[in-house]
Structure 1
Amino acid sequence: MIPANPFPEEPGTYFLAYHLRASGEYRIGRFASAFLPEGIYFYTGSAWTRGGLCARLSYHLRLPEHPHWHLDWLKPHLNLLGAGWQVEVRAECQWAQALIAHPQASVPIPGFGASDCRQHCPAHWVFFGTMGGHHAWRKIVEETLAQLLDAPSGFWSGDIAGSMDESPGAGSSGAG
């Protein structure tokens, strides 16, 4: 069960760690379709609008009726493993670049999640393969983001059995 309001209301930077349940061709908005292998993915973003991190992260825990962001198109196929954030910090690109620099990382869809990126990141959606199971996302954070000056300071861990099929509070703590 997801707590009523586990995220801060201040603005800031966040990451989401996901597990894509099956390899396949996926339609992703203007990207038409792309092949994505099963495994662990990270998405980095920022929340500087009304409601801050709470509003944005809560949004990512739901399936949108009408997909808007690149990530929305994949949510039906993802399990949310966890999230991390740093309030009052603009580090979305720094985090994306640190994740991409990991020796096991790759960018499966150039430009994904980075259409408004001002630092010319290859993407804000990074693939890590299976990395030894669902709990490997924490190791990735330790190896990449924890060493940064503006490293995540808050974390939420999802239920790996959960999926986007249920809304928050409806008996599932996973989403994405």
Structure 2
Amino acid sequence: MYEREPDSLRDCIAAAGVSGIWTEPAECPALGDVRGAYLLALRLPVERERGGSKRGTKVPAPGWYLYAGSAWGGGGIRARLGRHFRREKKPHWHIDRLTLQAAEMFALAVPGGGECDLVAKLLSSRRFRIAVAGFGSSDCRRCESHLLEAARQGRA
């Protein structure tokens, strides 16, 4: 994936028809207990050794990525994003391994939204494409992946 600046990434998300509440790690508590879906934007700074996790997940190249997730349980989106933004945690999910490596992160909370709907909108805009097949979507029958990257010009 080529480098994108955060504002450009936000513009691409908005152009795909996705809206919500932008939040940075320090602003996350202001979300309260709202439930729904979110997009976590993260920048991976350096090439990492390929080979992935025990489950064979490929490690993405450096650049900006979007992870679509949902938060319908206690604490809602605030709690889920709080975990993603935390540097001290035991890796549990695929995304944990990436958040521990990320140089920058911010998120878009979508109250009442669905993660699969977000992925579908972003992909149908042709501004984004699957980054790693199966990433974060092992229990999803609808999506090929919940990890996306911006499509290079002329490719989708």
Paired residue for 2:149, among 117, 127, 148? 127
Change in 2 beyond 3 A, CA 1:84/1:33: closer
Deviation at 1:59, TM superposition (A): 0.8
Paired residue for 1:71, among 95, 101, 112? 95
**Among the aligned pairs, what percent are the same residue?**
30
- Aligned residue pair count: 129
Q: TM-score, normalised by structure 1?
A: 0.63
* Bigger proportion of residues as helix: 2
State the secondary structure of the residue aligned to 1:31: coil
Return the letter of the residue paired with 1:31: R
Answer whether contact 1:37 1:129 (CA < 8 A) is retained.
no
- What is the aligned-residue RMSD (CA, Å)? 2.5
State the secondary structure of the residue aligned to 1:6: helix
Q: Residue by residue, what CA displacement relative to the aligned partner does 1:143-164 show, whole Å, maximum 9, x if unpaired?
A: xxxxxxxxxxxxxxxxxxxxxx
- 53-62 or 24-33, larger mean C-alpha shift: 24-33
Paired residue for 1:29, among 45, 48, 53? 53
Paired residue for 1:61, among 70, 85, 92? 85
Unaligned segments of structure 1, at least 5 residues? 132-176
Answer whether contact 1:25 1:35 (CA < 8 A) is retained.
yes
Unaligned segments of structure 2, at least 5 residues? 1-24
CA distance in 2, matches of 1:94, 1:111: 16
State the secondary structure of the residue aligned to 1:19: strand
CA distance in 1, matches of 2:50, 2:86: 19
CA distance in 2, matches of 1:56, 1:71: 12
2:117 paired residue number? 94
1:117 paired residue number? 140
Deviation at 1:29, TM superposition (A): 3.4
